[in-house]
Each structure stands twice: as C-alpha cells, then as structure tokens.
Structure 1
Amino acid sequence: MRKLIWGTAVVVVLGIIAAVIFTPKSNPTDFDYASLPVLGKTDAPVKIVEFGDYKCPSCQYFSQQVKPQLEKEYIDTGKAAMYFMDFPFIGPDSTTAALAAHAVFHQSNDAFWKYYDLLYKNQPDEKTLWATTDYLVQLAKDNKLDVDYDKMKTDIDKQTYIKEIDKGESTAHKANVQSTPTLFINGKEYTGDFSNYGQLKEAVEKALAAGKAE
C-alpha cells in the first residue's frame, strides 16, 4: 500500500511538471516598432505600445493624467519608450484625426507627439463631429507646429497614410484589442486598470526586472 501511495504521488508530481513544461505560453505581440511614432529612446529596455483613438474620452484621460507620469518616471529616464498605434473604431472622426496625425508624424516624430497632445487637449464631446481637414490643419497652425501645413492638408485629403492606419487596426484585431486605450508592455497586453498609475507602474517594473534577469 505504501509503495502504491508513493508511486501515485510520483506520477502526480511528474504530471504537474509535464503540464508546466508543455503548456503553451502566450506569445508576445510582434510590433514593427521602427515604423511607429516613438516617445523616448528606441533602445529603452521597456517598450510600451498604446492602441488609441483620438475621439476616445478615455484616451484623453490617459494622455493627460497617466502619460505625463510615465514620461517623468520612465521615458525621460531612458527606462521605457512609448509607441502609438491607431485603433480608430468610434467613427469617421477617428480615422480623419489619425490621418492628420500620420501626416504630421511623417514630417516629424517630435511634432507628432505635440500634435498627439493637442488632439486630446482640444477633443470635443464624443458625439460631436469635428475632425475636418480644415480644423485639423488649423490646430497645427494655431499651435505653430513645425510642419508643412500644405503638405499636411494634402496628405489628409488624399488619405496618404490610410494603409498604415488600416495596419494598426488589423494588428489590434489580431491582438484581440477590445477597447482604447489598450497598452502592451514588451509585447504583452497590460490587463490592469490603465487609469491606476500604481498598477501600471508595477507592470513596468516587472518588465524592467524581467529584462535584467535575461
């Protein structure tokens, strides 16, 4: 009886070990970081990707309340870099604003992040239609964004970068993104509360520690 018990125990332990070893692990999402707007150093050990929609009120909150804390503690210190991908799902304004942001990005990465902040700072009510070409270009002019405004207008009207926006949306669907903002940290979706900086900080710290351990 004793041998039977021990034998059973060994089988159970081996089964647990096998389950741990052979259970498939969720693979990180593979981002083409080099093609995305980046805030911070490209060689930062932690890469944070935000899927966002310029018409989304929650994204506005993230840009104004959470992103500045990330910048101060992690991005400005070289520990993390932040990237942006479009998930324009709310309405036509979402896509038009994304076209404007891409038009700016392809002239200047630094100007993109200034424009990113401006779009959210000046975001009207979600039910209001506002993202016209004239409005989006005038916003850049009024804030003296260092870009070619005529080229920006042409790129919006001709939808020059619509394929990049479609790629962002496709990537979001493949990664099972359900809402904005959704964050990925080193390719893995952050499932905590994006508005809780303490939780987000803990996730970034874990990513930093994991990088040092490798």
Structure 2
Amino acid sequence: MANKKKVNPAIKRQQQQEYKQKEALRQKKLMRNLIIGTVAVIAVIVLLIIFVPNNKTAEATTFDYSQLPVKGETTAPVKIVEFGDFKCPICKQFNEIIVPQIQKDYISNGTAAMYFMNFPFLGPDSTTAALAVESVYHQNNEAFWKYFDTIYTNQGDENTEWATTDFLVDLAKKADASIDTTKLRQDIENKTYAKQVQAQYDKGKELNLPGTPSIYINGVEYTGDLGDYTALKAAIEKAKTEAGSEG
C-alpha cells in the first residue's frame, strides 16, 4: 500500500489561523453588504452591462463537475462552483440570501447549475461536517442539498466545536433526507470520504482562496462583492453570453 502524504498538524493549524484572520476582515464587509443587498437590489440593465468584475484576462480553472454535488441541470451552460465551510457565517448568509436569487433567475430555467466543494479551514469540526455531507452526497445528490440547507439553518458559533458526529447524524434524521443515517455515522467515524474532502481542500489551496465562500463561474474566479447580487448577476450574464458564443 502506498504511503499517504501526511500534513503537519502544526502547519495546518497555522494555515487555519491565517485564514481565520483574513476571514474576520472579509466577513465584516460581506455581512454588511448582504444585509444591504436584501433591501436595496436595483436591477438596472445598464449596470448589468457595465458593472462586470474584471475577469477578462483570468485563465479558467478546470473542475471535475461529475464528482461534485449539483443543484440544477448538468447541461446548464453556466456552471457555478462554491467553495464553502459549514462553520462559516458568511457561507450561511450567502446560501440563505444570494443563492435563492440565483435559483430563481438562473438555476430554475436551466441557465446555470451550482456545484459545491468543501474548504474546511475554520476548525476540526469543519472537516467533520465535510465528511458528513460527502457521505450524504454519495448516497443521494438531492438529499445532499436538503442536508446542506439543514446544517446552515442549525449552524453554531464558528469559534465553538459544534459540528460533532452525533449532532450531524441527528440533523440528518430531523431533515428526513431519505438516507441511511447508520451509514452516515459509519462514514464520518471511518473517514470514508477523507480523500475526497482533502482533494477539494487542496484544490482550494492551489487556487489561493481568500476564504469562504469563494465562487468560480465557468472556471473563472468571481472577484466582486458576494453581497452585491447585481454585480454577481452581471458576471453570470457575462458567462452566459460567452458560453453562447462558444456553442
């Protein structure tokens, strides 16, 4: 059996601390804009054309979409990948405020599909939650999204270790996601999908993610404000147009 590459715990803890510090600054700005965005979203066509993040020269990143949970049609011309950590409060806000708007405007009509990748960096239980959702995904893609929402609805404080095995299994039972919760517990305890979680985390490190959530649209990093749906919508429209011109 090949030797697995081990990550130095001290180095990983240092990396997690660095990400936490960056996240604290990022969260202050994004939380404010997420709140403002819910009460003042002005859809002006001119702004949709002009206010596009500067992604023109960015080189597209490749993702193995077939190995990721997907919300929407796999044939959608616009593919949105979210890197997230279930302990991240901004991820919770993004998925409760912004994603429903993407669902309404793009996913429901087949224009876009949303994919998720784990980037567990806030604590040991971030990885526990990642192992849990991977288990659910490998049982049922549709159950994944129900469980995904349930975890965010019941999210604890990012500075406490709340995403325990018992808590996550209990949430799956409450979510009634039609999965085998005994297998879920076994998969978490046996770290069945640790390789997949680590690969997703490594992909995020390779991309030098600034924190979570981080978004890629058709392989191009979205560098705008995630709390500004007008700007995000412009980026999606741009990707839609470019996908159409390539088709």
Common fold by TM > 0.5: yes
SS of equivalent to 1:48: strand
Superposition pairs of residues 44-55 of structure 1, within 5 angstroms: 44-55=76-87
Residue of structure 2 equivalent to 1:167? 199
Whether 1:112 and 2:144 are equivalent positions in the alignment is yes
Whether 1:36 and 2:68 are equivalent positions in the alignment is yes
Is the 2:146–2:175 contact (alpha carbons within 8 Å) kept by the matching residues of 1?
A: no
Q: CA deviation at 1:119?
A: 0.7
SS of equivalent to 2:177: coil
1:135-179 deviations in Å (ceiling 9; x for gaps): 100001012110001000000000000111111111111112121
Q: Could you list the runs of 4 or more consecutive aligned residues of structure 1 that deviate by over 2 angstroms after TM superposition?
A: none
Whether 1:186 and 2:218 are equivalent positions in the alignment is yes
Q: CA deviation at 1:213?
A: 1.6
Superposition pairs of residues 66-105 of structure 1, within 5 angstroms: 66-105=98-137
Residue of structure 2 equivalent to 1:155? 187
The one-letter amino acid paired with 1:208 is: K
SS of equivalent to 1:51: strand
Task: Give the length in aligned residue pairs.
Answer: 190
Larger relative contact order, structure 1 or 2 (CA cutoff 8 Å, min sep 6): 2
The one-letter amino acid paired with 1:49 is: V
The one-letter amino acid paired with 1:136 is: L
The separation in 2 between residues aligned to 1:195 and 1:161, in whole angstroms, is: 32
The separation in 1 between residues aligned to 2:59 and 2:215, in whole angstroms, is: 16
Q: CA deviation at 1:27?
A: 2.4
Residue of structure 2 equivalent to 1:198? 230
The separation in 2 between residues aligned to 1:56 and 1:115, in whole angstroms, is: 16
The one-letter amino acid paired with 1:59 is: C
The separation in 2 between residues aligned to 1:50 and 1:26, in whole angstroms, is: 18
Structure 2 unaligned blocks of 5 or more: 1-56
Is the 2:79–2:218 contact (alpha carbons within 8 Å) kept by the matching residues of 1?
A: yes
SS of equivalent to 2:209: coil
- TM-score between both structures, scaled by the size of structure 2: 0.76
The separation in 2 between residues aligned to 1:135 and 1:208, in whole angstroms, is: 40
- TM-score between both structures, scaled by the size of structure 1: 0.87
1:174-196 deviations in Å (ceiling 9; x for gaps): 11212100000000000001111
141-150 or 43-52: which moved more?
A: 141-150
